[in-house]
Amino acid sequence: MRSALGLFLLSVHLSTQVIGPVPAISIKLEPFYASANQKRLAHKLASPTALAVSPSGNVYVFDGGNSRIVKLDRAGRFIREFGGPENRAGRIRSGGLSDALAVDKDETIYVLDPIDPKVQIFNSNGRFIRSFRLPFIADNVAVNTKGEIFLAPVTAKNGPLIYVFSKDGRYLRSIGKRLVAAEGRLPQEINRVKLAVDRQDNLLVAFRSWPLIRKYTRFGKLIAESSFRIPSALMDEAASKNYSLEFFEKHPEASFVLPLLVHSITATRNSGYILLNGHVLIKLGRDGTILKEFKLQLPDSNERLFISLAAEERSNRLLLLDTRSSSIYAIKLDSPGL
């Protein structure tokens, strides 16, 4: 694993070694929930944006187009919906790619409201328990076994990378430093992250538009940091010239369009996986280092857009959410190449 200093220097002066083709691996996708095959209208998903899996194997889907949460069992059968527009308390509202939810060990569900910033909490039957307001917009959430809620803020101002709250909305602490300390539009976007918590309650952090992964203890100690290769399809040569933290620090309001690299991150029993734009998966080791980076070779790749993944460990598989077909697919973790 590279040193933190080495990674920082690599990040500031992005070289051609970091951008390039990613090897493709042929993987079999198993249908888990095909929205088009559902006979009842209420069972059909519409532009789903996020999913989470409970320890029991139940799957919760943020159904963005219908502004609700859908609960499926571990076999992919529809159980119930909750939080729809008809609800006054616990009403779910969609923010597109900012939609996020998390499930804890007791199968309590935490859903972010990106419009009226708050965390909404439901039990496994979809009953609204409580909510608490946030002093910032958040677009990602993770929960550990202690019931601590980790939130990723979206702000142009300098501050902590992650905030930690209790279930009743008390501020507990902050974690991590931002990549760019300057204030402005570009610093806001480059510091947006995706979160996951592993079995040891360590926090996995993947920057949405920068090829860097961090691993923290629940108290905020940085224990690992790794960089990954940017698939060449996501970054052209012209854009790469100004793609540096140094440039973003000096020109925080420049009209630079950042690439969307990371869609989602999840933790498994012995590792973790990151879903990149363009059907690319990154496998992490237990210590947070990168073990493998590969592209899913699918016969109909152009017809799919995977934007969220979650580990379902009881069945030893990854679930991938395809927002184009509004369906969920499964990949066996013991598949060749994984």
Residue range 177-214, pLDDT digits in tens = 999 999 999 999 999 999 999 999 999 999 999 999 99
Does residue 115 have a pLDDT over 60?
yes
Quickly state the pLDDT bin for 97 (edges 50, 70, 90).
confident
Q: Compute the average pLDDT of residues 257-286.
A: 93
What rounded mean pLDDT belongs to the chain? Answer: 91
* Per-residue pLDDT at 12: 41
Residue 54 in 3-state DSSP?
coil
* Per-residue pLDDT at 190: 97
Residues in the chain: 338
Residue 79 in 3-state DSSP?
strand
Q: Compute the average pLDDT of residues 303-330.
A: 93
Residue 60 in 3-state DSSP?
strand
- What does the pLDDT look like over 2-26, one tens digit per residue? 444 334 434 444 433 478 889 999 8
For the chain, the domains span 4-21+36-261
Question: What gap in Å lies between CA 289 and CA 56, rounded to an integer?
Answer: 28
Does residue 42 have a pLDDT over 80?
yes
* Per-residue pLDDT at 88: 73
Residue 42 in 3-state DSSP?
helix
* Per-residue pLDDT at 168: 95
Q: Compute the average pLDDT of residues 134-157.
A: 97
Q: Which residues contact 301 (CB under 8 A, 6 or more apart)?
A: 279
Protein fold of 4-21+36-261: Methylamine Dehydrogenase; Chain H (2.130.10)
Quickly state the pLDDT bin for 302 (edges 50, 70, 90).
confident
Quickly state the pLDDT bin for 110 (edges 50, 70, 90).
very high
Q: Compute the average pLDDT of residues 67-83.
A: 97
Q: Compute the average pLDDT of residues 247-267.
A: 95
Question: What gap in Å lies between CA 297 and CA 23, rounded to an integer?
Answer: 9
Contact predicate 121/129, CB 8 Å? yes
* Per-residue pLDDT at 178: 98
Question: What gap in Å lies between CA 117 and CA 139, rounded to an integer?
Answer: 10
* Per-residue pLDDT at 16: 36
* Per-residue pLDDT at 5: 38
Using CA atoms, how far residue 71 sits from 83, 108, 114, 126, 300, in Å, is 11, 12, 21, 9, 27
- The structure tokens listed for 232 are 């060449």
Contact predicate 191/178, CB 8 Å? yes
Question: What gap in Å lies between CA 332 and CA 151, rounded to an integer?
Answer: 30
Q: Compute the average pLDDT of residues 143-168.
A: 97
